Amino acid sequence: MVGEASEAVNAGILAPNQDEVPGRAERPATDLYPPCGMPQPESTAHPIPAMSEALEFEVTLFPNPVLRKVADPITAFDDALKRTVEAMYTRMFESQGVGLAAPQVGLRQRILVVNETGDAKEADQNLTLINPQIVARSGKKVLLEEGCLSFPGIYAEIERLDGCVVEAQDIEGNPIRLELEGFLSRIVQHEFDHLEGILLVDRMSPADKIRNKGELEELKYMYLESKR
Ligand code: CO
């Protein structure tokens, strides 16, 4: 399932064709985007509404500091968790993503939802990983373009090992162990990074940081504006 180099890995976003992103060519590529390690003010995690209310998530965008937090383990496999997971799938599919991590909806929780088809009708491909750990990575190094729902309009070629072994729990708390490779392995590796506060921008090459400088600055500006 690993695409060719030109195929965007939409670990979090469907990335049809980066050349179609308006304004990309006109962006000045002058100096480097500053290194990561954003200041971390108070978390802006969404509270979980009462059981009677519908749970609805928006995607948290870079550089919201919640994306930099190490997420906390899930200890209760209850209805609140099921509602959270369900709402995460809804958000992921509506955003045309193939994976979503709880910090991307403002929650400091170790939850990943994945569906490599990105198609809500293919629910049998849903993969819910609670408290995931990547216990091994193996295979050849693969360079592939990735996007991220928290970085709209930004794409970068990211090098990862092709395979990984994931240990996690399912939504009921049962242990699961998966040996993954190709596209699914890449999505899980990307989403797992989110639980550790590691973001696309951290894994970008200096050249990609320069190429995406305008978009990154725009996201920072929008975040600051939203705080006013
Ligand atoms: Co992402």
Q: What tens digit of pLDDT does each residue of 120-158 get?
A: 999 999 999 999 999 999 999 999 999 999 999 999 999
Residue 10 has pLDDT above 50, yes or no: no
Distance, in Å, from the CA atom of 170 to the CA atom of 85, rounded to the nearest integer, reads 11
Asked if 55 and 183 touch (Cβ cutoff 8 Å), the reply is no
Catalytic-residue membership of 191? yes
Beta carbons within 10 angstroms of residue 169's beta carbon:
18
Element (H, E) at 164: strand 156-169
> pTM to 2 decimals?
0.79
- Grouping H, G, I as helix, E, B as strand and the rest as coil, residue 42 is coil
DSSP states along 98-145: SEEEGGGGT--B-EEEE-TT--TT-GGG-EEEEEEEEEEEEEEEEEEE
Q: Which CATH architecture has domain 38-227?
A: Alpha-Beta Complex (3.90)
Q: Identify the CA nearest to 156 among candidates 28, 35, 38, 5.
A: 5
Q: Which of 94, 191, 196, 218 is catalytic?
A: 191
Q: What tens digit of pLDDT does each residue of 64-107 get?
A: 999 999 999 999 999 999 999 999 999 999 999 999 999 999 99
Distance 31 CA to ligand 1 centre (A): 24
Distance 78 CA to ligand 1 centre (A): 26
Over range 98-118, report the average pLDDT: 98
Distance 150 CA to ligand 1 centre (A): 6
Distance 19 CA to ligand 1 centre (A): 20
